[in-house]
Amino acid sequence: MGINANKGSTTTVLPIIAGFVGADAVADVLATEIHKSEEISLLIDIGTNTEIFLGNKNDIICCSCASGPAFEGGHIKHGMKAVTGAIEKIRISPNFEVKYETIGKVKPKGLCGSAVLDAVAEMLKNRIIDKHGVFKQNIKTKRLKKGKKGKRFIIAWGKETATGKEIVITQRDINEIQLAKAAIYTGCSILMKRKGIKTAEIDKVYIAGAFGSYLNLENAKIIGLIPNIPAEKIRLVGNTAVVGAKMALLSKKKMKEAEEISKRIRYLELANDPDFEQEFARALLFPELKGLQKF
C-alpha cells in the first residue's frame, strides 16, 4: 500500500455500500449523521464520481453518478486544481467586464472548478449563453472571440496572467459543465421520485467534497446543479469522508455504526432506472432564470 508503518500493524477499512458507493460515502454518512436524524436530508459528495443520499433515520436511498472531473478543473481548457494561482471566483457585469479572485492573491494561472461554475452562471445571467449552453450571436464585446475550434470568452487578458496568455472559457468547457451538472441533477431527481419526496420537503442539504468548500450556492442553483432550496437549509461540510474515517479509526463504536450504515442504505442503479435517459436529457438544459430548476 506504500504506507510507512510498523510491520506488525494492521489495516482497517470501512465497509462499502455498492461498487461505486464505497467506504468514503459511508464515512460521509457517519460524519453528517443523516442516518440518525428525523429530518429529511440530501447529501451530495461532489467529485469525479458523485455519491448522493436522500432520507432520514427511517430509510435512506443512495446512488452514484459519473459527474466527471469538470468541477475539479479536469477536461477544462484552462482548468486546474484549487491551488495558489487558480481563479476561484468570477463576476461578469452587464457590460461584460470581468472581475475575479485568485487563490493566494497572485496573478492567475488557470481556473479551478468553482470559477468555471461561476463563469457559466454569470454568462447565463448576462445572456451571453442560452439555455442550451451555446454562445449567443448578438453579443458585442471584445471578450467573445471565434477561432477554428469555436467561440471562447476571455476571463483574463494575457497581460493579467502569470503565463502571459489569455485564460478563457470555451464552448467545450460549457458542455463539460452541462454533462457534470446534468449527472448530479438526474441523480437527485430520480432519488426524490423513488422516495416520493418534493423539494419543499427536504429539510437539509449537505454538500461534501473538496469542490463543495468553494461553491457559490446561488450560482450552483442558477446552473441547475443543486435543488432550488433556501440557502439557510444548505451546509457546505467539506471533506466529510476524512472526518468519518477518523471517527471510525478512533472509536470501535463508530466502526460498528459504519458497518450498520452500509447494510441499511438502499442502493439505486441509475442507469437501470426507466426514467434515467429522459431525466438526463432534460437536465442538460440550463434552467430558466425566472423560476430556477426544481426537482
Q: How far apart are CA 28 and CA 33, in angstroms?
A: 8
The residues of the chain scoring below 70 in pLDDT are: 1, 289-295
Which domains does the chain possess?
23-67+201-283 (3.30.420), 70-175 (no CATH)
Q: What is the pLDDT of residue 199?
A: 94
pLDDT single digits (tens) 14-37: 999 988 899 999 999 999 999 999
Question: Does residue 238 come out as left (phi exceeding 0), alpha (psi in the -120 to 50 range) or beta?
Answer: left
Q: What is the pLDDT of residue 223?
A: 96
CB 226 within 8 A of CB 8: no
CB 86 within 8 A of CB 101: no
Q: What is the pLDDT of residue 53?
A: 98
Q: Cell 467586464 belongs to which residue?
A: 97
pLDDT single digits (tens) 206-243: 999 888 777 899 999 999 998 889 999 999 999 999 99
Q: Is the pTM of this model over 0.75?
A: yes
Residue 294's CB: how many other CB atoms inside 10 A?
Answer: 13
**Spatial CB neighbours of 165, under 8 Å, sequence gap ≥ 6:** 158
Q: What is the pLDDT of residue 1?
A: 66
